[in-house]
């Protein structure tokens, strides 16, 4: 893969407070720009990288690039902007590789209370106690955790609520059918009610229409991302968008 040729770059998609419409943070999304094949989306190459050990190296590179960018934003007066980084379940499952990530975290001096790691339910299924221990090690740095693609996995809620998760991101497959009254819309409404009861912050993924935005705002969904609000952008462009809104 293009790691050695440095063909990977990070784009950043803003996350909005749906009440105030302010940008509260950005999510780092990796892009592979291959000179031969053009832009290859992460849902194509991340699963491939996860089948081999390449994922570990790729993930370290992504974390370093993201923290480097975070440091630049902190120097530019954007220290309040949260940065979310997606973390593959493989990096959590391997103690050696998890330790390397911890070392990277210790070596970058950024405000970790504004860093969020996103994990998916797939990580939970393997070894619950091990996952719990590793996640608590991340929390010891002040890092917050988000459960990504919520609603698409098969994990038991009884298990999920025991994890030290701060934020729940509702998968865009549920957001898609809003405002039509069907099962997905009803699930979204219930996820919101349950998450608020359990004191999670909720972020809706993939908001594409005004009707979806309105519905989510009315149902007290705190955060939102989606093409309607802003597409993922290179770092300089996203800084511009954030500064224009300040
Ligand atoms: P994700 O973490 O759930 O990221 C959200 C995906 O939804 C992104 O796709 C984003 O571009 C897309 N998206 C945002 N708003 C909309 C919208 O309104 N409509 C639609 N249709 N899509 C929207 P992307 O960048 O292609 O990433 C796909 C997945 O690849 C991510 O899903 C994540 O699971 C994985 N991924 C991306 N970057 C990384 C990374 O740095 N590390 C790891 N481990 N995984 C990553
Ligand atoms: Mg994500
Ligand atoms: Mg997601």
Place of tokens 């309105």: 214
In this predicted model, what pLDDT tens digit does every residue of 6-43 receive, in sequence order? 899 999 999 999 999 999 999 999 999 999 999 999 99
Which regions of the chain does DSSP assign to beta strands (E)?
8-17, 23-34, 38-40, 82-86, 115-120, 144-150, 167-170, 201-204, 223-224, 233-234
Please list the helix, strand and coil fractions of the chain in percent, rounded to the nearest 5, in that order.
Answer: 45, 25, 30
Which atom in ligand 1 lies closest to the alpha carbon of residue 169?
3
C-alpha triplet 150, 164, 162: angle, nearest 5° = 80
For ligand 3, the distance from its centroid to the CA atom of residue 225, given in whole angstroms, is 10
Range of the domain at 177: 8-245
The closest residue, in CA terms, to atom 27 on ligand 1 is 42
* Diameter over CA atoms, the chain: 50
Which atom in ligand 1 lies closest to the alpha carbon of residue 149?
3
The closest residue, in CA terms, to atom 43 on ligand 1 is 86
Candidates 4, 2, 29; CA nearest to 14 is 29
Please give the pLDDT value at position 121. Answer: 85
* 70: CATH: 3.20.20.450
Q: Is residue 2 part of a domain?
A: no
C-alpha neighbours within 13 Å on the C-beta side of residue 100: 14
Contacts of 229 (CB under 8 A, 6+ apart): 14, 16, 207, 213
Q: 118-143 b/e with 16+ CB inside 10 Å = b?
A: bbbbbbbeeeeeebeebbebbbeeeb
Q: Is residue 47 part of a domain?
A: yes
Stretch (H or E) spanning 52: none
Q: Is residue 15 part of a domain?
A: yes
Q: How many domains does the chain have?
A: 1
Q: Is residue 167 part of a domain?
A: yes
In this predicted model, what pLDDT tens digit does every residue of 62-113 receive, in sequence order? 999 999 999 999 999 999 999 999 999 999 999 999 999 999 999 999 999 9
Q: Specify the pTM.
A: 0.97
Which atom in ligand 1 lies closest to the alpha carbon of residue 227?
18
Could you tell me which residue, 105 or 1, shows the higher pLDDT? 105
Stretch (H or E) spanning 171: none
**Which of 12, 42, 226 maximizes ligand 1 atoms within 8 Å of its Cβ, making it the mutation to test the pocket?**
42
d(CA 87, CA 90): 8
Q: Is residue 3 part of a domain?
A: no
Q: Is residue 53 part of a domain?
A: yes
Q: Is residue 1 part of a domain?
A: no
Q: Is residue 86 part of a domain?
A: yes
The closest residue, in CA terms, to atom 7 on ligand 1 is 206
77 sits in the region (left: phi over 0; alpha: psi -120 to 50; else beta) called: left
Ligand nearest to the CA of 65: 1
């Amino acid at each position: 893969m293009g790691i050695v040729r440095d063909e990977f770059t990070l784009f950043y998609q803003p996350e909005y407070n749906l009440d105030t419409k302010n940008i509260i943070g950005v999510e780092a999304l990796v892009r592979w720009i291959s000179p031969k094949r053009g832009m290859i989306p992460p849902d194509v190459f991340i699963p491939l990288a996860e089948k081999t050990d390449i994922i570990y190296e790729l993930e370290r590179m992504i974390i370093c690039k993201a923290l480097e960018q975070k440091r630049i934003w902190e120097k530019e007066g954007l220290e309040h902007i949260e940065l979310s980084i997606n973390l593959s379940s493989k990096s959590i499952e391997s103690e050696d590789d998890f330790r390397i990530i911890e070392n990277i975290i210790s070596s970058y001096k950024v405000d970790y209370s504004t860093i969020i790691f996103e994990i998916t339910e797939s990580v939970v299924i393997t070894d619950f106690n091990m996952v719990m221990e590793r996640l608590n090690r991340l929390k010891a740095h002040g890092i917050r955790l988000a459960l990504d693609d919520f609603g698409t996995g098969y994990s038991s809620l009884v298990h999920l609520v025991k994890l030290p998760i701060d934020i729940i991101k509702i998968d865009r497959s549920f957001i898609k059918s809003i405002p039509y009254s069907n099962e997905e819309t009803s699930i979204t409404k219930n996820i919101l009610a349950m998450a608020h009861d359990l004191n999670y912050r909720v972020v809706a993924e993939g908001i594409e229409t005004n009707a979806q935005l309105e519905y989510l705002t009315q149902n007290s969904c705190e955060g939102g991302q989606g093409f309607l609000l802003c597409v993922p952008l290179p770092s300089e462009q996203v800084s511009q968008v954030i500064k224009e809104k300040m």
